[in-house]
Structure 1
Amino acid sequence: MSFVGVVLLARVFVPALIRGLGSPVQRLAGVPGELAVDNAVRNRSRTANTATALLVGVTLISTMTVGAATLLRSVDTLLDHKMAVDVVASALPDAALPARVEPLIAAVSGVAETTTLLGAHATVGSLEMDVRGIDVAEVDVIHDDAITSALRSGRAFVSPGVAKDAGVKAGERVRFSGDKGSADLIVEIADNLPAAVLMPRSDLRSIASAPGPIAVLARLDTGADSGALMADLESALATTPGVTMSGTAQQRQEFVDILDTVLAVAAALLAVAIVIAVVGVANTLSLSVLERGQEHALLRALGLTRRQLRRAVAVEAGLIALVGALVGVALGIGYGWAGAHTIAGEEMTVSLGMPWPRLVLIAAAALAAGLLASLLPARRASRTAPAIALAQE
């Protein structure tokens, strides 16, 4: 409904924006710029309709692009909240993790840090379960400052489910018992752990006689291409059967693949919209050239060159396209955020994502479409002889 209102009000704001954006253009382009601005706002309805044709397409693709970026950023936050580890390579149930897994993962370009989780069976309070131990010196592989700063000897992290089942609260001292001995550790609670119970490796060895390697955790370089890295990791582990991979990087890539498909459809829609807009701008300029034949002839007779006349028509088309592009991108940002919030607002905290390079590319494509549409009308206007045009009725 708001977009219907925008379309209905286009006759009001499009000419106003053209005048506003045309002020610096007039100073830069001189007489052709002044002619372009005056001609663009002369027939307000026609100009508004032309800009609206482009506005629809730009708004659509901008909405899809901003919505996808917003959802991706929100999913990143959600995934980090659920598990603060990029990659987890683990052995199948009841299978040992080969020792060569960590070196293979660490050798992949784009992997920043790795560490091996040790595992053993223990009793947490009165609850029997598997526990995991991590080298405190390598705990930065988990990208959660609350965990990395608090995990040290004498402390352990448990998931909310374990805390509930074991009847423990954050800050309590809980007894962990294994086949080797017992240790009283202060418990903290976090819901984004790579294991249900995580403690320092030294504490695990104090209660378990022979903890074995269970999984390898990896942290990727900031800004790394998760899709390419996951493919490289799978290739590196291809000769190591019985190892499965999970973590936020894999889940993020699955979501990115879905969004890329959506954006590909949106790009196809944009291509159709641009074709329609090019035809619309070309028709508007052609009608304008026909209506102003004698006017153009008089300007030519008064000294306006063919190049200046072509420039005036091109600037007019550019201003119409620029207004449609800028308004479309602005609307797309608002609609994209609103759409993402509507889709996922109840499931996660929605954070606005701004894909500026793509938005600039969309606006540039719209502007290029307008300039492309001006070529034939500008050529026709400049090739008509002044004497012939003045003689026409």
Structure 2
Amino acid sequence: MKVFNFREHQPQLVPVEIIPNVLEAVGRVSAILRPTLNQFKIIGREVEFKNIVGSIGLANGDRLVVEPKVESRSNWADSVIQLLEHETRISVSGSRRSGDSQIRNDLSEAVGYEYARRLRLALRKDGPIQIYRRKEFESTRISGQLLVGKWMRKAFAHPFTFPQVKDELSAVNPFTYGLSMVARILSRTVANKHVSAELRELATLAAPGQSASFAIDRSIVSLRLPSQWSAYQPAWDIAKVVLENRSLISESGRNFGLDIAVEPWPLLETLLTRCLEALAQISDGEFEVHSKAKHPLLADSQNVVTNVIPDGLIFFRGAPFATFEAKYTKMGKLPKEAHVYQALATAAALNSPIAFLVYPTECSVRTLQVTGFAGRPVKLVLLGLGMYSYERSQGDLDRARQILSILSSLRGYGVEN
């Protein structure tokens, strides 16, 4: 097996004999991710990946590994996994690989860690999932609902054997099957022996008393997790993605791995949303966060012709104060003109004095004076959120405090101008 390393937006030559395999893999991944932006460009032997990070397995056993185009820390894959939401589309496929083929920043390794964390928390909170199942049985004692017709047909020969039915809570159900199976699959993908052992233990705890070799009906991915078991939703979100792929159940005794790829730009919007939600909590009600929605920009005499949809919106004293546009690109000395026009037009449409352009990089905050918009917006703020160094909870708070500090320093523009 060969590993071909890429960086987003940097074309690279590959051997001509693997081009058919690359084309097949590209089509397969595109069908799963359904990307908003074009992700692949292949000209002759030159292959370029755009708006995708992770690994893609080829039919011949080789792997294509794509790293982020922006500066990132050594363990950027951990940040990517922590930013996954239930609606995030992920390409997951199984692969055979040698024991020494683990790559740095392998998303499959990060998924194993994250799944163990999510499943562990759910089990500690609620124990294994139990749902009501209808059980038919026969007994000499009445402990359920008697099946009168069935009993009468047998009463002459067995008058004291009562066929019955009753509903009872059981940990034997499709959800525990699925969660346990995915834990076992992921236990074979992580290089860390302690995490692998924990995943095997979690597989047993999630489905107590069930065989490790049970069969999985993959139609369970369409089932909705019962609301009373919402603690399992984060783990189930990962489990569904893995179970949707039919090639992931490997023969025993073989080394097994996963190839995982994701479209990164929606993760920046997720990060921004989490930061703004944290900001609302720490601002003591001074700043309000409004949900993503359409706002009219152009209209004719009868209808709205064009809308704007800010990626983030902050209100101050009951009025729009700051709009946010997330751009998955490097922040240069000056922002791209198209991005500037979008950010300023969005702020103007909402009569907001402050417009933000948010980037995935780690960089100093820059504030630019806006002219020509009759005072709204007044300022354009360029902000890097350090997407690839993100850690949940504390990472949200740290970035929220930074944004709060910026907003606080600009509050006068919401009142005086």
Same fold (TM over 0.5): no
TM-score, normalised by the number of residues in structure 1: 0.23
Larger relative contact order (C-alpha < 8 A, sep ≥ 6)? Answer: 1
Question: Higher strand fraction: Structure 1 or Structure 2?
Answer: 2
Give the number of the structure whose residues are more often helix, by fraction.
1
TM-score normalised over the length of structure 2: 0.22
Larger radius of gyration: 1
